[in-house]
Amino acid sequence: MKTTMKAVRLKAAGQFEAVEEPRPVPGPGESLVRVSAVSLCGSDLHWFDQGGIGDAMLSRPLVLGHEFGGTVEGGSLDGRRVAVDPAIACHACERCREGNPNLCPRVRFAGHGATDGGLREFVAWPTALLFPVPDSFSAAAVALLEPLGVALHGFDLGHVRFASAVAVVGCGPIGLLGVQVARAAGAKSIVAVEPLAHRRAAAARCGADVVLSPDEAKVYKGEVDVAFEVAGTDDAVLTSMTLVRPGGRVVLAGIPDDDRTSFHAALARRKGLTIAMVRRMKDIYPRAISLVERGVIELDWLVSNRFPLAEAAVAFAVAVRREGVKTVIDVEAPAGLAVAPTRRRPH
């Protein structure tokens, strides 16, 4: 059996290196996962473009990628296709014990800091964080369960009541999944705001009732009960606060480039807004898998660009330019193989 594997490591901002290195050996409580696909997240793009995210900066060549899945080799889940929860919480601190492992101060997260992620052929990961998926799921859909989980967690933080009006400001992948979640959860109306025309069209396909550019949103006369900001800009925060009614909630999920968010305090105070911050997700994979298995949420249609592992640098460049909706790296695909994305209209 071959004992090495291919991996892609980020050496510095914008600089990848393809390497051949030993396969990881699972430790106690771990399983070996042969990675199938990795979808690129906005936080991955921060690492690639800026060499870090927030107060975490590149300290050594890092394998990026936290949205991924694959097939287990050996152990109790041998042969099972699984989604990988990228967050390894300590389960001993007060935050973990109170049921908030996503806030664990000692969490280790795939593709972040000193913890390598999924842009490699094999990963050794805690078996308890591997979630079997139906054979009907595509490799890309398995990877996209992680951003769906973030969208679900953000929706939970919104405390959205049945038949509420919601807004989603920023229609990248998580925003588009948020539109689908809101529709499935019984929102009476959904306003989507997005500067890119192709993503506005995608929001309409997802079920948004009103689709606006940022300029159109400035003169929109309606109000919503909850606004989800998924763009990471102060303009998006302002739009969210403007759209939401007095006494409503604004959920901030976007990650700003300069690690700072500011807003008009008078507007938020006058409206008496409640502001919630999204920190990844917690214990959501079973819900996400169920939603996709039952056809409530569709994932494959989000994939617009696919590349083999050897073309990771090209994939990131495409994703940074916000071309299409979701870029996926097919780790098992041969170099140079182009795979057409699945284009289906969500329910």
Report CA 245 to chain centroid distance, whole Å: 28
Distance CA 95, CA 98 (A): 5
How many residues does the structure list for the chain? 347
pLDDT at 320: 92
Q: Has residue 337 been placed in a domain?
A: no
Q: Has residue 201 been placed in a domain?
A: yes
Question: What is the domain extent for residue 157?
Answer: 152-277
pLDDT digits (tens, 9 = 90+) for 244-269: 999 999 999 999 988 899 999 999 99
CATH of the domain at 170: 3.40.50.720
Question: 347 falls in which pLDDT band (50, 70, 90)?
Answer: very low
Prediction pTM value: 0.94
| One domain for residues 267 and 177 | yes
* CB neighbours of residue 264 within 10 Å: 13
CATH of the domain at 23: 3.90.180.10
pLDDT digits (tens, 9 = 90+) for 67-97: 999 999 999 999 999 999 999 999 999 999 9
Distance CA 56, CA 166 (A): 33
> CA angle at residue 45 from 44 to 51, to 5 degrees?
85
Question: 326 falls in which pLDDT band (50, 70, 90)?
Answer: very high
Residue type at 226? V
Task: With beta carbons less than 8 A apart as the criterion, state whether 248 and 167 touch.
Answer: no
Paired residues of 189 in beta bridges: 165
Query: CA quadruple 297, 301, 304, 308: dihedral positive or negative?
Result: positive
Calculate the alpha carbon distances from 19 to 6, 25, 35 in Å.
Answer: 6, 18, 16
Distance CA 164, CA 204 (A): 18
Q: Has residue 269 been placed in a domain?
A: yes
Q: Is the pLDDT of residue 191 over 50?
A: yes
| One domain for residues 198 and 285 | no
pLDDT digits (tens, 9 = 90+) for 112-138: 999 999 999 999 999 999 999 999 999
Q: Has residue 271 been placed in a domain?
A: yes
- Residue 11: strand, helix, or coil: strand
| One domain for residues 285 and 139 | yes
pLDDT at 345: 45
